Structure 1
Amino acid sequence: MGRNLKNAAIAFLVPLPSILFYLSFLNHYYDSAILDTDSNIWTWCYHHPLLLLNALLFLNVTLLFWVVGLIQCSHWMIDLYWTVIPLMLVHYYASHPWGECNWWRSRVVIFLTWLWSVRLSHNYFRRENWQWGARQDWRFTNMSLSYGNHWWWISFFTVYFSQQLLLITLSLPFYAIHSVNKPLSMMDLVATVLCSSGILIAYFADTQLHNFVTRNNNLKYVGKPIVPVLDKGLWYYSRHPNYFGEQLWWWGLALYAWNIGYGWTLVGAIGNTLCLAYVTKLVEERMLRQKNRTEAYTKYQKTTSIWVPWFKVFDPSGVRNKNA
């Protein structure tokens, strides 16, 4: 209980420097008639929203989170904050006085981002048995074993700096949406449907995965064999429907930006898809290394779409996978 409360307190306190600095900037802006006449840090913050955001993320997340992770010997916090940083970023762009936007488009995107964040945060805490910082991502643990004594500095780049780059590029549609005031169009409706579908698909896929893991843990507890592969519900049609839903969400956001003339912001969705492709490879390799799952998962791979939900196919022997 003590460790859980300590980690909860850390999670709430660590982002305060950037939040307080930004609120101070807004206070100075609204107290000043014209910032352009002042050559000071607040003027710079007004004219350079992207640079300001990068600076805040670098100092308060990349650097400070890394230091906290080294002290605690666990990089759990970046996994938790992935669920809320995009929400903070959309409010940053929406409140920054430099930009302009279509009010309805902005509010719809903010509302959807809240849904996405609540969904992902709920899944994080449900997976961690409602504890703060109980463990770090298994990939970080594997990397720490691989890099040994060099992990302390390598973790800065692999865990934090690389994720800042991904967060910044993924959030570029938020910047685009709050940089131009263009009327709503049918493409906004399509983007809204994509984002909403992504959130729903990811929620149901994660819930089905959670129930599957819980059931297997109960089977282990009573000494019974586990079910080797989840192939029910959405997982019947896709090996990674949760990743598919997550991609729909980010591609839907990119469509909002593309529709208003900011097609270059697609770079974030493209980068995220490439990252998820690599993560998918790691997850599947991990499944195949587990002897009690190797045979069943190999058959599952042969008959089931990797991302996009689709109908089952026949394996090379002409016999449908028994798990289907």
Structure 2
Amino acid sequence: MPDVLVVAGLSLAVAALVMVATAVAARRAGRVSVVDVAWGLALVGVAVVCAVLAGDWRGWLLVALVGVWGARLSSHIFTRGRGHGEDPRYRELLGGSLPDVGMRVAVRKVFLVQGAAVWLVSLPLQAAALCSVTWTWVVWLGVAVWALGVLFETVGDAQLAAYKRDPDRGPVMDRGLWSWTRHPNYFGDACVWWGIWLAGGVASGWLPALVTVLSPIAMTIWLVWITGARLLERTMMERPGYPEYATHTSMFVPRPPKRGRRASRV
């Protein structure tokens, strides 16, 4: 098995290289939201490095899991954002558009943070490179949780795309999975990384499980409170009909809609 410093260092190097390249691309494009496309690809790169270092079947299984998730997510975000301006979430985070605030602010508030987040979230991949499999059945449990997450992301995005094409749509998307959670894609993202934690961290033993649990916790916090649901909600609450939708639909964890009741906070 490789040395822990080698695995951690190479994983950090991959995250740093991707973020440097993304910062250059953001400067040319005039918007930092291109980092959302690079996010999944950076984790795929770390997964490949860890699999090469591990040299076992689980490492390449994790490459497949992260690769399917990352390629789908990056492709979806790239297609959705093509021809559009800056994401309102990042404009609020930066305090203005990229040309106005400058690259120093963008590097400090976005690219350094996202690079560190890639390294932190990749901890289960690093654990799988450092430790052999202790519980094979936990690997497959992780695959099942990962599959649930990909299902929520894929179906949720497809339902939202169909809603946008419907000329008779209402003011707010509240159909299908969106009637159970206001952010099925973010919930799916969280499930993906809890599944990868099971397959990469927990399946390696109790100590790796405890060390790497920071990964899915950080991902969930990121998706709910940092650049995900909570930040998006500030903009969405200004849309007609959305506050009413929010009163009976869970924000994150899927639950049956509660008509006439106040929705849960998460």
TM-score (norm: length of structure 1):
0.70
| C-alpha distance in 2 between matches for 1:82 and 1:47 | 23
Task: Give unpaired runs (5+ residues) of structure 1.
Answer: 1-44, 318-324
State the Cα distance separating 1:92 from its structure 2 match: 0.8
Alignment of 1:39-54 (within 5 A): 48-54=6-12
Whether contact under 8 Å (1:66, 1:156) holds in the other structure is yes
Distance 1:183 1:54, change over 3 A: closer
State the Cα distance separating 1:241 from its structure 2 match: 0.9
Partner SS, residue 49 of structure 1: helix
Amino acid at match of 1:306: M
Whether contact under 8 Å (1:79, 1:137) holds in the other structure is no
| C-alpha distance in 1 between matches for 2:20 and 2:49 | 20
Does 1:57 pair with 2:15?
Answer: yes
Partner SS, residue 289 of structure 1: coil
Whether contact under 8 Å (1:303, 1:314) holds in the other structure is yes
State the Cα distance separating 1:119 from its structure 2 match: 1.9
The superposition leaves residues 203-229 of structure 1 with CA deviations (integer Å, 9 ceiling, x where unpaired) of: 0001111222233xxx4xxxx8x6211
The superposition leaves residues 259-299 of structure 1 with CA deviations (integer Å, 9 ceiling, x where unpaired) of: 31212111121111111122211211211123xx2xx2222
* Alignment RMSD (CA, Å): 2.6
The one of 45, 53, 57 aligned to 1:104: 57
| C-alpha distance in 2 between matches for 1:46 and 1:176 | 9
Aligned residue for 1:89? Answer: 46
Amino acid at match of 1:235: W
Does 1:269 pair with 2:216?
Answer: yes
Does 1:234 pair with 2:168?
Answer: no
Q: Which has the larger radius of gyration?
A: 1
Q: Following TM superposition, where does structure 1 have runs of at least 4 consecutive aligned residues deviating by more than 6 angstroms?
A: none
| C-alpha distance in 1 between matches for 2:58 and 2:44 | 16
Alignment of 1:116-195 (within 5 A): 116-128=69-81, 131=82, 135-142=85-92, 143-145=94-96, 150-195=101-146
Amino acid at match of 2:236: M
Which structure would you say has the larger RCO, counting Cα contacts within 8 Å and 6 or more residues apart? 2
The superposition leaves residues 135-166 of structure 1 with CA deviations (integer Å, 9 ceiling, x where unpaired) of: 44332234252898544311111110000111
| C-alpha distance in 1 between matches for 2:151 and 2:251 | 19
Does 1:313 pair with 2:263?
Answer: no
TM-score (norm: length of structure 2):
0.84
Partner SS, residue 139 of structure 1: helix
Task: Give unpaired runs (5+ residues) of structure 2.
Answer: none
Partner SS, residue 32 of structure 2: coil
The superposition leaves residues 85-135 of structure 1 with CA deviations (integer Å, 9 ceiling, x where unpaired) of: 111111111113xxx46x33223222222221232133224323xx4x754
Distance 1:57 1:309, change over 3 A: closer
Whether contact under 8 Å (2:48, 2:60) holds in the other structure is no
